Amino acid sequence: MTEAFDAVDIIRIKRDHGILSPEQIDWTIDAYTRGAIADEQMAALNMAILLNGMDRAEISRWTAAMIASGERMDFSSLGRPTSDKHSTGGVGDKITLPLAPLVAVFGVAVPQLSGRGLGHTGGTLDKLESIPGWQPHLSNEDMLRQLAEVGAVICAAGTGLAPADKKLYALRDVTGTVEAIPLIASSIMSKKIAEGTGSLVLDVKVGSGAFMKDEARARELAETMVALGKDAGVNTVALLTDMSTPLGLTAGNAIEVEESVEVLAGGGPSDVVELTVRLAEEMLACAGVHDADPAAALKDGRAMDVWNRMIEAQGGDPRAALPVAKESEVVLAPADGVLVGLDALAVGVAAWRLGAGRARKEDRVQAGAGVRMHAKPGATVRAGEPLMTLLTDTPERFERAREALADAVVIAPEGSRPAQRLIIDRIA
């Protein structure tokens, strides 16, 4: 087959700060997906994009080309609005679990395609798999049926959505080009738009435990993704939220499910409740529902009813006991004072090293492993009091988890206050 363009010419354009035409972009994504552009050529192009950027029209076309590489789901037959949430990932971020059933209470269907964890941030599917019997793989027909009958689905993304992104992401991962904002934004949004949601709320995390450590870059990513959503006709809003300290009091798998169920029962840590309610309000507003009171639906059991049905529909037993780690060790407060810092990255790495996360895609996670925190920033602590409990089935992991936590805790004199701002900004 005669190719419409030459990969080397495309690389040179971006290397020299040029703009790619829509036809050049369509060809690039298609040719790479079918193997007509070699990995080393695509790696060079990715690096040129990382260094020199792309304009809005280029990013939009790049995203559309990735969507066109695979199937596009369609929920219009449901006859009700759909809304989804995407978080850029953080430590203790279990918000999807209470949020999906909560939004469904108000008649907005939530098709939540989720992934597994890699590195220090946990994966929603890994957490839910700690529920006995629950299974993540649904056909498109089963997904549609569950959305119609229950209103919410959290399941694994099939391989048919944006296959170009899968190939491209694997290449970026090994060539130092993950961090390019045009590539991150198009990667995330191609999958969300192909999924077919009518509206989308993005939770873009900022801080040590997040992908984006500084606010300016997180803001740029959020603005780029909101623009892409709007270009594709998906009503999209982003919140910038803090990830300098873990969300809630648990980082792991089963222990995060347990905390989510506490939130669904009307309790749970205040930061998890606040972010769940705020994201629910944003999702409902994006879907055209303006008079809902999500906080009340957590208190009165309506969200819990949907959760129970959602878990049962996927083979899980929502009332079964969750797995518990075989071994535990306590980390004590080193001094008296106010806890002003509990570093998200350090806690995430500790949970990962305890067995809650995986280093390679094929690794298995331990359902019971993780870190249970006994105090959040702002709490007054006494020397020798338990600050955290480390949980694992394999006690030889404790030492490396403790090493990860060596500088995680900052205790200041009484009267000090941590800088606390869970929701930093809203971008629409």
Residues with catalytic roles: 86, 165, 172, 187, 191
Closest to ligand URA by CB, 86 or 127: 86
Closest to ligand URA by CB, 118 or 410: 118
Closest to ligand URA by CB, 184 or 346: 184
Least distance (Å) from ligand URA to the CB of residue 161? 11
Least distance (Å) from ligand URA to the CB of residue 162? 9
Least distance (Å) from ligand URA to the CB of residue 241? 16
Secondary structure (3-state) at 33: helix
Residue 135 per-residue DSSP state: -
Angle separating helix axes 39-52 and 163-173, nearest 10 degrees: 80
- Contacts with ligand URA by CB under 6 A lie at 169, 178, 183-184, 187-188
Least distance (Å) from ligand URA to the CB of residue 186? 8
User: Which DSSP string do the residues of 52-84 spell out, in sequence order?
Assistant: H---HHHHHHHHHHHHHTS-----GGG-S-BEE
Cβ 207 vs Cβ 344: under 8 Å: yes
Residue nearest to ligand URA (CB): 187
Least distance (Å) from ligand URA to the CB of residue 408? 24
Closest to ligand URA by CB, 46 or 146: 46
Cβ 49 vs Cβ 14: under 8 Å: yes
Least distance (Å) from ligand URA to the CB of residue 254? 25
Closest to ligand URA by CB, 188 or 254: 188
> Which amino acid, 258?
E
Residues 6+ positions from 142 with CB-CB distance below 8 Å: none
